[in-house]
Every structure is written in C-alpha cells, then in structure tokens.
Structure 1
Amino acid sequence: MKKRLFAGLIASAMMASMLAGCGGSSDSNGNAQGGDKASGDGYSMTLIMSLRDEFLSTLEAGSKSAADELGVTLASQDAQNDTGKMLQFIESAKNAGDDAVLINLVDAATAQQCIEAAGDMKVVFVNRAPSDTSVLEAGKSVAVVSNENTSGYYQGEFLANYFKDKGKTEIKYLMLQGTLGLVHTEQRSASVLKALEDNGIKATQAAAPLVADYDRANAMDMISPLLGNTEFDCIIANNDAMALGAVEALKAKGMDPTSIPIVGIDATVDGIQAIKDGTLAMTVFQDANGQGYGAVKAAVNLIEGKAINDGTDYETDETGNICWVPFEPVTPDNVADYE
C-alpha cells in the first residue's frame, strides 16, 4: 500500500466508521436526520497558511478532505508570510462567527498574539508549533505537528551509516537552512548533527550554514559559489526544495549530484522522484495530509470537549496539548512505498 494513498484511506475509513456510529438517515442533501448529529456537522473553521507552497497545499487538501468527511465548513487563507495578514485573517474568522481557526504560523514567536486575536474560537496550530509551547491551553489552544527533532535525526542516522560503510568517521558538510527563528529550522539543524555525533561521526562545517529560507532558487544561488572550491562530503538541507536546489546547482557546474549524499526533508513529489533518479540520497516523510486531517479533527474534538487525538492513531505529549504526526525516513530501499 502506498503511503500517500494509505493516509487518505485511513482518514476515510475513520470518518465512515464515525458516521456509521451516529445512526439515523440522510435527506437528499446529505444532512443527517434522526439520531445524533454527526461529529463536526455544522461547525465552521478557517485554515490560515503562512504561504501556499507544495507542502502546505497538500496540507490544505488534507484539511479540506477531512472537513468534507466531518461535515465541517472550512475556508482557507494565504498569509503570504506576513504576520500582520495572518492576524487580520484570524480577526475576520472571529467576526464571521467561526468555531475554530487552524493556524500555520508565519512566526512561531507570535502564537500568543494569534490566541488573543482568536477570542473565543478554538485554536489549532498546525505544522509549526509555537516557540513557547506553554501558551497552549487545554480545551482552548493546541498544536498538531510532527516532532522536528526526529526529522533531522533520521537524516543524521542515514548519513552516519553511509559514511561508516565507507570507513569514514570524520566528514565535512554543507548545510542549507530554512528561515532563521523558526522552531523547525533550529530543531532540524541541531538534530541531524546530534545524530551524527551519537553515531560516532565527527562532523565539521565546510562553510557557514547557508540560510535559503526553504526556497529552491535561493538554495541554488547560495550554494553555487562554493562548488568547485570547497571540500565537502555531503549536503544537508532542512527541506527537499533546498536539497533539490543543491542538485540543480551541482548539475549547472557540471558536477555529478550522485557522487555525494544530499539529504532533505518532506518527501515531496519532486523529492521522491529525485531519490528514484539517484540525485537525492534520502528524505524524511512529513505527512502533510495527516497534519491537515489531524488539525481539523483536533478542532472538532476541542469543540466537543474530547481529547485532541480522539478518533485517530496519533499520540500526544504529556500535556495532551500537542498531537504528534510521526515522521518516517525515505530511502532508495523503501521509496516505492511513498509514491
């Protein structure tokens, strides 16, 4: 079973099970009649994304699919990486009488502002957790995210095994970082180096980290001047887009991207294809559909006074305010499962 399809089938099966348990019949418009109202039926929500890129567009699609299954009315907005616009969209959702708002933070440090702007609405931070998770409050504001420390750690474990197989315990790396100040940029960058150290690899930077803001073109432009005059053993990127920018830069210089391991995160469609082509050594699957589904389900659960992971297979942290959607490593050995 392919992972992308499997996630959708799991969500559909869960929804079908829930709806079947509600009893009653439906009218010609599909509205429940008799028995209890289907969970989520009649609720209105807004998903506010930091921007609309490939990954977040997939998250948006997962959210809308879950909303359709749950009977939730879901609007979506693109804040275009502008916190001011994000806050305006939150205010608009509140004024429109929405029951909940799903927020993909532009700036993780502004979570408290977002909660205050939401007023009485339930708040679900999705994909990006607040930098200070103490702002989360049971029954009011929660997060549906993936543990970013594990994403980078999977990269580091892969690289450690790769170099150990070649008899190397000391390496030099180039790192392409996402936007500074974002929690997942910091955790992805730190955890990959920790995994290398934990697995007996001494890793030193061949050049200062390149901050490419998760953008493919930026990554290509920033790494190009280093190619051909800097010695390095691998390229570590905080996401697939930047990893692919490095691949393109190497090709443009007449260098073979398969000659060194380049690792990314997200398992985007292009990232998966690059692994199949051999130009990307590995990536880490971040379940955009799962995060989108989990965010809508968490919002419904908040409204109905249930645990935020109720009706899912996802685990929560010790506070019950963070729902974890797991990362999974993707390598040439298992890439077919993620097509």
Structure 2
Amino acid sequence: MKNTIYKRVMSLACASFLTVGMLAGCGKSGSAAGNSGKVLIAYTDTEDAFRAALADGLTSGAKELGIDVAMEQTGDSVEKQIALIEKASQEGYAGVVCRAADAATAHQIELAAGDMPVVFVNAQPADDQLKGDRYIYVGSPEEDAGRYEGEYVYNKLGKPAEMNLVILKGEKGHSATVARTSAAKNYIKSQGCKVNVTFSDFANWTPEGAYEMMDMVKKVGASYDAVICNNDSMALGVINWMKDNGVDPKQIPVCGVDATADGCQSIKDGQMQFTCQQDAKGQAKAALEAIEALSSGKNLSGVKGATKDGKYVWVPFNKVDASNVGNFM
C-alpha cells in the first residue's frame, strides 16, 4: 500500500515538475545556490481568490527573478506535502517555499527538508517552530487585519456603547482565522464597547459557506449591527444573501479582508463597506527573495520587511473603503 501511494505521489510530482519547467523556461538556473539551484514551491490549492493570486504571484515572480521552480499543488494532504519535500531534498533542491497544509506540522516539514531552508508563506507556524535565517515565515500581520475591521465597524456605527456582531470565520485552526477574529473583537472591546457575538461559525473562506451561515443566522433569529468576515469571498457571500433576503448592505456594514478584485468592485458599487488589502503579489515576491537569499547562504537583512531575529518577513495590510478603493483596482 505504501509503495502504491508513493508511486502515485511521485507520478504526480514528475508531471507537475515538467509542466512548471516548461512554463518557467530556463531562467537563470543557478541563481539560487545548491546542488540543482531549483526551488520547490509546495502549495495547497487555488480555490480561494487570495490563494489563487498568491500562486500566480509565485509563478510570475519566479520568472522575473530568474529562479528555477517546481510548483506542486498538494491539497490538504500533509502526507503528500512531506513526501514531495523529502524527494526535493534527496534530489538536491536549493530550498522550499511552502504554504503548509497544516501549520502545526511545520517541524515535520523542516525535518523533511533536510539541509534545505524553508520559507513558510500565508499559513503561519508557531514562533517556536521557526529559526532565524533558516525556517522563516512570510506573510501579513493578521492581527492588523482584524483590528482594522473592528476599528471600521466601531467608527461606522458611531462608537456605540454596545453592538451585536455576526462573525464569519475562515478555516478552523488557521492562523489568519484565529488572529483576525480575536483582534476584531478585542479592538472594539478596548474602546469600552460591549460586544455581543450573536452568531459565529466557520464558512471556510467561501461565498457559498457564508451564504449558508447567513441562512442559519436568519433561522435562529440572531440580530446584528454588522457582519465581520475573515475574507472578501465570505463577505461577498453575505452581500449576495442580503440581496436575496431584502437586507440593505448600506445600512449594515459588511467587512472583509484581501481587497480582491470582486471585493473592491463591491465597495465601489456601495455594497461591501470595508476590506484590507492583503498583498498577494507582495507576499509572493518577499517569499521568493527570502528563499533566494537563504538558499545562497545569506541572511534576510536585504529583504524588505524582515525582522531583526530573521524569523519573519512582514508585508503590511492596507485599509480599503469607498474613499480610496480606486487605488486598489
């Protein structure tokens, strides 16, 4: 059974390596140090608008920087991700950029990588799983996104003494889900406002999931002054539900995160009210610059946004509402 699974994984890996090699062209095949100079990008999926943009940014960014990459989509399979990274290590790859299927498995990924440096992107491992200039994380500070959402809602509702909130969350256990949700609530509470979360559940980043959750909100009779979502896709699902159910989104703020094209268009159209730009292209570029440096035996000092301890590269969020949405379209 193990041999069968291994053969399947290797077959998929080989096919994908060839495909990415043809797409990326020759580039500067030795620009990243190592036996082969090649970098593995182990990626989960492109089902969400942001993750799709991040994947595109990694592919196009590698071409621009002349980094020879093999990009593998692994889905939610930790086992497949580990097997691919082990194979890359055995074949003398220079490094790994990884959107972990489960950030809690960071140590397993690092063991599988052997002598290769690992750049985690978009799914943040615990701090004690990182090592300066060796195993690092590139992303945006998730607490900022949640705080910005909370700040917008609090101000938009006139700085009330009390408010009812619906909060729709992304993937259970994901670092962004946890940080964005808690930061939004904590900001509002820090302003002396009593927060009543009348409904909260996981909509798994999707508009369909958010629509279903809003059906549940209606079914249980939960009242709400605003809806805070962990991403734009869910916020747009809420907007669609409101349209279908006679609720005016101009009267009830709906907020998201990512500043996707559809999210920004919704703000421009006067529907969604607020989002934060999570810079997919910026994260991709930073991850590639980081792995290029680390796989060449350098540190992160030359990478914009790197922390002094060499564990993180931060790409900031930007606030987006009706007043500036045109700058993000």
Q: Does 1:111 align with 2:118?
A: no
Which 10-residue stretch deviates more, 280-289 or 174-183? Answer: 174-183
Displacement after TM superposition at 1:333 (Å): 0.6
* Residue identity in the other structure for 2:313: C
- Give 3-state SS (helix, strand or coil) of 1:102's partner: strand
> What does residue range 299-338 of structure 1 map to in structure 2 within 5 Å?
299-310=291-302, 312=303, 314-338=304-328
* Residue identity in the other structure for 1:338: F
Residue 205 of structure 2 aligns with which residue?
214
- Give 3-state SS (helix, strand or coil) of 1:258's partner: coil
Residue 270 of structure 1 aligns with which residue?
262
Alpha carbons of 1:145 and 1:259: their partners in 2 closer, same or farther (altered >3 Å)? same
- Identical amino acids, percent of aligned pairs: 33
**CA-to-partner distance for each residue in 1:270-310, whole Å, 9 max, x for gaps?**
11111111111100100110111111100011122333251
| 8 A Cα contact 1:309 1:315, kept in partner | no
Residue 135 of structure 2 aligns with which residue?
141
Q: Does 1:238 align with 2:230?
A: yes
Residue 48 of structure 1 aligns with which residue?
42
**CA-to-partner distance for each residue in 1:209-255, whole Å, 9 max, x for gaps?**
11111121111112213237321100010111111111111122222
Query: Aligned partners of 2:32, 2:139: CA distance in 1, in Å?
Result: 22
- Give 3-state SS (helix, strand or coil) of 1:259's partner: coil
- Give 3-state SS (helix, strand or coil) of 2:173's partner: coil
* Residue identity in the other structure for 2:112: A
> What does residue range 163-202 of structure 1 map to in structure 2 within 5 Å?
163-164=157-158, 168-202=160-194
Displacement after TM superposition at 1:43 (Å): 2.5
* Residue identity in the other structure for 1:174: V
Which 10-residue stretch deviates more, 100-109 or 57-66? Answer: 57-66
Query: Aligned partners of 2:102, 2:180: CA distance in 1, in Å?
Result: 16
Number of residue pairs aligned between Structure 1 and Structure 2: 301
Q: Does 1:227 align with 2:218?
A: yes
Residue 121 of structure 1 aligns with which residue?
116
Alpha carbons of 1:287 and 1:305: their partners in 2 closer, same or farther (altered >3 Å)? same
- Give 3-state SS (helix, strand or coil) of 2:84's partner: helix
Residue 12 of structure 2 aligns with which residue?
none
Alpha carbons of 1:202 and 1:169: their partners in 2 closer, same or farther (altered >3 Å)? same
> What does residue range 76-87 of structure 1 map to in structure 2 within 5 Å?
76-87=71-82
* Residue identity in the other structure for 2:105: T
Residue 204 (structure 1) aligned to one of 196, 200, 206:
196
Displacement after TM superposition at 1:64 (Å): 2.1
Taking structure 1 as the reference length, what is the TM-score of the superposition? 0.83
Residue 55 (structure 2) aligned to one of 57, 60, 63:
60
Question: What's the C-alpha RMSD, in Å, of the aligned pairs?
Answer: 2.1
Query: Aligned partners of 1:329, 1:179: CA distance in 2, in Å?
Result: 23
- Give 3-state SS (helix, strand or coil) of 1:273's partner: helix
